[in-house]
């Protein structure tokens, strides 16, 4: 399989980060995600009025995220089962600039997602030091499990950010996605792109273009989909369709993960009823 070429954004007018923040801050927004072939993503660049984020002459940026979860996958299970008060802990590294942040995302009772972050040393991105744990402990629902958090998945990809000024919408296109589990196993999607539109609510022009080509929003999470693809026995739930279509995934018998890890494992048997799952995700 040949290495995909970068997105051809050279002819688009650039826009600075400050301008993106001013024109498309979108503090309250609707997100729609699509998984499309690279050729379809490239075709989106021909829409009138689009501008591309440019920082220090760069228009495509290399990202790496390390996700932390407990051995019994409290964070993953809460997302898989759509628990109202779920959370996600990760470091996000901007590899081109050498910057890194620790991020905590929480889903509140009213259904809104809130993101909290602090600067973090990029050389420590695969672990949580005392300062990081102190930050995580400020979140009531995470504090009881914070000392059990460990790195379980790393994602790497290249991101291009577009702005549609007329609708004040943002569009991100992620390519060359690689997901790698803690044991070193990995999967990649070199011929696909994850397109996400972030709008004030109404669909933007890019949404309409994708719909006209019969591409509809899909349920995909780099963490959830990636971990399920690499961990036999995890409940795939809302990511089932994407996993089957693009990751070569097939369901495993209930409890296969726990059986594979042996009787001493703290990992629950995924086939059990929900009441058997860790108490942290039942609230």
Lowest mean pLDDT, pick from 65-69, 84-88, 109-113? 109-113
Q: Does residue 266 form part of some domain?
A: no
Residue 56 phi, psi (nearest 5)? 50, 40
Report pTM.
0.84
By three-state DSSP, how is residue 283 classified?
Answer: coil
Residue 92, sorted as left (phi over 0), alpha (psi -120 to 50) or beta, turns out to be beta
Whole-angstrom distance, CA of residue 216 vs CA of residue 178: 23
Q: What is the pLDDT of residue 268?
A: 36
Q: Does residue 14 form part of some domain?
A: no
Q: Does residue 283 form part of some domain?
A: no
Q: Is-contact 229 245, C-beta < 8 A?
A: no
Residue 179 phi, psi (nearest 5)? -115, 135
242-267 pLDDT, tens digit per residue, is 988 888 777 776 554 444 333 333 33
Total domains in the chain come to 1
- DSSP label at 58? B
Q: Which residue blocks in the chain are alpha helix, DSSP H?
A: 17-23, 38-43, 74-80, 130-136, 205-212, 222-230, 240-246, 256-261
Q: What is the pLDDT of residue 264?
A: 36
The strand pairing partners of 52, in sequence order, are 14, 162
CATH number of 143's domain = 3.20.100.30
With CA atoms as reference, report the closest residue to 41 among 230, 240, 176, 222.
Answer: 176
Per-residue pLDDT at 167 exceeds 70: yes
- Each residue of 57-90: b (16+ CB within 10 Å) or e? eebbbebbbbbbbbbbbbbbbbbbeebeebbbbb
Q: Does residue 1 form part of some domain?
A: no
DSSP string, 233-279: T---GGGHHHHHHHS------TTHHHHHH-TT-----TTS-GGGS-G
Q: What is the pLDDT of residue 69?
A: 97
Per-residue pLDDT at 63 exceeds 90: yes
With helix as H, strand as E and coil as C, how does 209-240 read? HHHHCCCCCCCCCHHHHHHHHHCCCCCCHHHH
Q: Does residue 175 form part of some domain?
A: yes
Q: Does residue 4 form part of some domain?
A: no
**Torsion angle of alpha carbons 26, 30, 35, 40, nearest 10°?**
-60
Q: Does residue 10 form part of some domain?
A: no
Q: What is the pLDDT of residue 283?
A: 42
Whole-angstrom distance, CA of residue 260 vs CA of residue 269: 10
Kindly state the tokens that stand for 150: 């460990």
Whole-angstrom distance, CA of residue 169 vs CA of residue 4: 27
12-62 pLDDT, tens digit per residue, is 999 998 888 776 555 556 889 999 999 999 999 988 899 999 999 999 999
Q: Does residue 281 form part of some domain?
A: no
Q: Is-contact 90 100, C-beta < 8 A?
A: no
For the chain, the average pLDDT equals 84
Whole-angstrom distance, CA of residue 52 vs CA of residue 162: 4
Whole-angstrom distance, CA of residue 85 vs CA of residue 83: 6
E strands, 38-110, where?
A: 51-53, 61-69, 87-94, 99-107
The domain containing residue 188 runs over which residues?
19-257
């Amino acid at each position: 399989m040949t290495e995909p070429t970068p997105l051809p954004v050279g002819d688009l007018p650039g826009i600075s980060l400050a301008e993106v923040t001013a024109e498309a801050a979108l503090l309250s927004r609707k997100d729609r995600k699509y998984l499309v072939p690279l050729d379809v993503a490239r075709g989106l660049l021909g829409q009138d009025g689009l501008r591309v984020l440019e920082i220090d002459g760069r228009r495509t940026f290399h990202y790496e995220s390390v996700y932390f979860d407990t051995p019994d996958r409290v964070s993953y299970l809460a997302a898989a089962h759509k628990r109202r008060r779920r959370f996600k802990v990760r470091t996000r590294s901007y590899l081109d600039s050498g910057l890194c942040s620790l991020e905590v995302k929480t889903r509140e009772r009213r259904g809104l997602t809130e993101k909290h972050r602090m600067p973090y040393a990029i050389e420590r991105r695969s672990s949580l030091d005392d300062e990081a744990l102190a930050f995580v402990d400020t979140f009531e629902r995470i504090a009881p499990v914070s000392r059990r958090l460990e790195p379980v998945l790393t994602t790497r990809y290249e991101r291009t950010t577009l702005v549609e000024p007329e609708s004040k919408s943002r569009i991100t296109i992620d390519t060359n996605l690689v997901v790698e589990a803690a044991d070193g196993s990995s999967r990649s999607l070199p011929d696909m792109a994850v397109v996400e539109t972030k709008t004030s609510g109404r669909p933007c022009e890019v949404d309409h273009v994708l719909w006209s080509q019969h591409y509809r929003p899909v349920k995909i999470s780099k963490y959830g989909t990636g971990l399920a693809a690499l961990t036999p026995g995890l409940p795939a739930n809302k990511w089932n369709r994407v996993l089957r279509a693009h990751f070569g995934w097939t369901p495993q018998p209930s409890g296969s993960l726990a059986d594979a890890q042996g009787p001493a494992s703290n990992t629950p048997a995924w086939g059990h009823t929900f009441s058997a799952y860790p108490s942290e995700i039942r609230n």
